[in-house]
A and B are shown apart, each in its own frame.
Chain A
Amino acid sequence: NAGVTQTPKFRVLKTGQSMTLLCAQDMNHEYMYWYRQDPGMGLRLIHYSVGEGTTAKGEVPDGYNVSRLKKQNFLLGLESAAPSQTSVYFCASSYQGLAGSEQYFGPGTRLTVT
């Protein structure tokens, strides 16, 4: 049981390049999330999904797209990277519970855009 995994762990992009971050979970969770963490700002929600084939915008969605074609995978895309997207990206998943439930996080992807 690997939990939540993220690929790649590190990446350096040049401004204008594109890339896709992959998140996979093996816990059969319905909900999946993408966050970014910047110094002094905690984690901010980019996009999320409440089930296969569904996606929705979070707090900071501009410049990102996502897809959830399979229940276990959640992809985050950057079509044209900008230096402002330099950050650490975390994927998370959670079980759909009635009384709230904790999210399980992956190890993160450190992205630098030059």
Chain B
Amino acid sequence: DQQVKQNSPSLSVQEGRISILNCDYTNSMFDYFLWYKKYPAEGPTFLISISSIKDKNEDGRFTVFLNKSAKHLSLHIVPSQPGDSAVYFCAASVSQGAQKLVFGQGTRLTINP
């Protein structure tokens, strides 16, 4: 049972436009959500997070939106840059205890010049 799902394996966006990556979850106990970025042959790196007490968190060009009723979150990147081309993983956890992350399958984002 996939508790965190990223239904788009890939996304192609033109440089300068907005990239929107989506993620759905099923476990209502999750209260902390994160996005990670991964380049080939490297480990994932933390990008941005959001607590369930918020519905939006912004950091520079990156904004994460959380819709708890729909159990859906999205990552907006604007404007998109060539260096943003990577695989993006959505992850969710219960913030108390061991804070184990449950990851989605990932979305490969390609920014075209």
Contacts and interface: CB of A to CB of B under 8 A. Distances in A.
Q: Do A and B actually bind?
A: yes
Nearest to B46: A102
Contacts, number: 68
Interface string B86-104: 0001010101101111111
B59 interface: no
Interface of B: 4, 6, 9, 31-32, 34, 36, 41-46, 49, 51, 89, 91, 93, 95-96, 98-106
Nearest to A4: B43
A107 B95 contact: no
B98 A104 contact: no
Size class of the contact patch on chain A: 20 to 34
Interface string A36-79: 00001111110010100000101100000000000000000000
Interface of A: 4, 31, 33, 35, 40-45, 48, 50, 56, 58-59, 90, 92, 94, 97-108
